[in-house]
Every structure is written in structure tokens, then in C-alpha cells.
Amino acid sequence: MTRSLVLILDFGSQYTQLIARRVREQHVYCEIHPCTLSIDTIRAMKPGAVILSGGPASVFEEGAPTVDRGVFELGVPVLGICYGMQLTSHLLGGKVEPAGEREYGPATIEIHEARGILAGFSKGERVEVWASHGDRVVSLPPGFSPIASSPNAPFAASASHERKIYGVQFHPEVVHTPRGAEMLRAFLFEVSGLAADWTPGSFIEETVAKIRAQVGDGHAICGLSGGVDSSVAAVLVARAIGEKLTCIFVDNGLLRKNEAVEVVKMFAEHVSVSGKQLRLVHVDASERFLSELAGVSDPEQKRKIIGRVFIEVFDAEAKKIEASGVEVTHLVQGTLYPDVIESVSFKGPSATIKTHHNVGGLPARMKLKLVEPLRELFKDEVREVGASLGMPHHVLWRHPFPGPGLAIRCLGEITKQKLDVLREADAIFLEELRSAGATYPAQYELTWQAFAVILPVQSVGVMGDGRTYENVCAIRAVTSKDGMTADWSRLPYDLLAKVSTRIINEVRGINRVVYDISSKPPATIEWE
């Protein structure tokens, strides 16, 4: 099947992923790519529409990011947002200058022409928007007309209705532009005539066909962690190739308390495809991983080591399967779109925030070919796909757990003793979060992710009239929709107090608990 595609060209905006979220919410498929994409590649993708993101640069600066002018000759609608609008004007014959007064935050625009992306509004209507720019368009290109203005931006929105090229000097993708979704809907459906054909059912049908073609006569193994992503990936691949898939659950010694037993039991009792259990192999490689990680403190080095050892374990298991006369050709991973976006950004390798285990933590040379059926999806979309596959609710709503596991929650050097302390603290936090449901309904599910972290810091305490000098434990809980941005959870004080009291009383080695109230950005969800 052929689906609608919106191509989002990224110029480095902190909001680019939100554009994708807003488009996907309309059941229209989109992809984010760097603005440096060649025009030949863009043509080959056959987009139904193009969106140019915002960005921190000024179009008249030396080395400012740009795009091939051929984008405007594709014959498909184009929407420029903030920097994207300025660049459109700059390339097509308009003029951009530094604004006399910069606009950052709330602004009000007045609608001059209720057409195109503003078709759902009324002429003369005043609309609240969110601005974030230091430059402004002062002269429009030939054939363009102003369709909205603000006190500081005479061309707050512009249009060439004939060419279906639009620009807005604000951010319709953020929640602070209350009616921004209406503008994006008008661009997608009224202007571009796209179909809302991006649904879990269509994704499953298309992906199953792709997997069958990709794996062919080979055999695949799946690195199964028991988390939402790898679980849905396993069921999706099993639907495509059946018994040609073997799931391998590796206990790397970096799992949560009782995780290995619970995962094996969960898949034996609750996860199946067409009434058949998935073929699952449980490998205990904990000593090997901890040996390789001994003495390592740098988080990037931890991730690289874990990625390498995982592949070595998978290769060894593949050889065992091949001993029975089956050729193992592919490795299945639950890589998601945020992993891809964060690891490969327009800004280049120097701006990489952290290497993701599924994306950048793998060796450059690998015997097995990767199958990543969820690579295009955000977390909430993965859960929708899992539900359409008939997977149980409690499996789909487990909190995310990072590929490197507790290695990036045990700051500094990793030891078994520190990991055991961390497991106990983490288990108490999650237990209390779940049991809080009687007083605070769905507290666990309202929280995107919750966990404990052992800090490389010790503090003085008093226990039983005696002095202690022990570890500090940080607990973190965030709310999010896709993991790209997150806010710290406003958990009830009495819940936090109970968690702190239990950890300090029950976990030897911790005498202080702190609560992380950092949002993403500027922090990341994980500490490393």
C-alpha cells in the first residue's frame, strides 16, 4: 500500500519532534530528516507535503543551514515554521532582518485572510500563538501575500495560494498555540489533500509484509528485554515469520529486582501469536557483563561495552541455533523513533546528547542484519500497535526500561553490591507507586517512567543514635507522551514520604533520599 508522507526537514529546532507528533496525531505519516537531504533523495521519497522546521540560526549568517531550492519546485505544498518561513522568504526573493524587538513567548496575531492554513478562522480574528524568534520577514517574495500579522511581525503568516507555499512566524506545533492543531490540520487536509491513513492496522499490515520480504528464507533472533518495545517488536515479527523467530532474553546482571523470572513467566503465560507461545531462550550472562564493566565509570563507554557484549552473546546463541541446520540472518530490536532522532541529529555528531543502546551502541561490524519494525514509531504508537496485536494491557503499560539497564542508573563504577542496593530501592519505589492506586487512581500509568538512581555521593546520617556515612539515592518520576520531552511528576507528598522512609529503613547502604525535579529539556530522563 502507498500512504501519505509528510517530509519534515529539520533545521535544529527544539520543537521539530513536536511537529512530527502533531502530524502523527492526525493519522498522517511523517518522517524527520536533516535539512541537508539532497533534492534527488527528496524526490525519490515522493512526499505529499513538506514542512520546514524552525531553528536557532539567522538566514543571513555565514554558514546558516539552508535547503535546496528545488524543494519549492516539487509541486507539493510547503509549510515553513519560524526559521523555515524566514528561509523560504530568503530563498524566493523576500527579505529578512533582525527584529527591532524579539518575540519569545506569548504573542497575538490578527487574521487578514481566512484561507489556506487559516481556513478555519475569521478575518479580523485575534489568535494567541507562541513566538520564538529574533529575526522577522520584512519583505515577502513575489507572489506571496500576508495572511496574518502581529504588533512586532507584519508578516506573521504568509501565503502563495497558487503554489501552496505557506509560512508562519510562530510555532503551531506547541501547546502554547492553542489553535495550532487547526492550522496544521488545514495544511494537511485542506491544502495538501492528504489521507488520514496512518493507523495501527495499516502499520501492522504494511510492516508484516516488509518483514517477510526482509527476512526471506532466513531465521531471526530477537533481543527480548520484556519491555514494551522489544515485546511488541517480537510479536509483530512472529506474526510475519512465525517459527523462524527465536527470542533471546539475556540476563545481563543489570536488570531490576526479579526481572528475569518475571519476564520469562510473563511471556509463557500472557504473550502468544495465533495461540502459540513465542520461542524463548533465557541466557544468564550476568557475570560476563559485570566483568567487562568492571572499573568503567564513563557512561558512553558503559553503553558501548554493553552494546558490544549483547551482540557477542546474540552471535553465540545464533551459532547454537545454526548447529541444528538453520541459518540465522537477522537480529530484531525494539528501536523507536525518539532513539533515532536523539542519536542522529541535524547538528552533527558533536551535538549528540548520548548514544542510544539500540542505535549507536552497536558495533560497526555485525554479522546479523538488523530488523527494526518499530523504528518509525513513538512510544504511544507502539502501545496502540501492541493493543491491535491483542497484547495484554499490563505488558503494554510497563514503564520504559533502558537497554543498558541499571548501568546508567548506577553512577560511577558499577559493582554488584551497588547494583543490589539499587535494585532494592527501585523495587520499593515501583511497589509504592503501584499500590498508591487505591488512594491516587492509576498513579503508575499516569507516570511515564519512575526509577531510583544510586549517586557517587555519600552523606552523613543518624540511625539508632549512631553516625552513618552512606549512599544518596535519587528517585525520579516523569510524565511524558513520547519521551522526547518530559516533566517531573508532581507525586503526592505522603507517597514520596513513604517511599523515602521505606528505602532508608529497609535498604542497607542508603541513608538519604532526594527527589529529582528536573524536566527534559534541559535534563534528560535518565541520569547517564
Catalytic center residues = 82, 171, 173
Question: Quick one: cell of 508?
Answer: 542497607
SS3 406: helix
Beta bridge partners of 478: 449, 488
Calpha distance 142→126 (Å, rounded): 27
Strand residue runs (E) in 140-183:
145-150, 153-160, 165-168
Q: Which residue has the cell 496544521?
A: 184
Calpha distance 217→241 (Å, rounded): 9
Residue of 342, 502, 343, 364 lying closest to 428 (CA atoms) = 502
* Max Cα-Cα span within the chain: 81
Given strand 245-251, what is the order of strands in its sheet? 280-284, 245-251, 219-224, 328-332, 369-371
Residue 485's identity, in one-letter code, is T
Q: Is the dihedral of CA 137, 21, 370, 311 positive or negative?
A: positive
H or E segment to which residue 503 belongs: helix 493-506
> Over the Cα atoms of the chain, what is R_g?
25
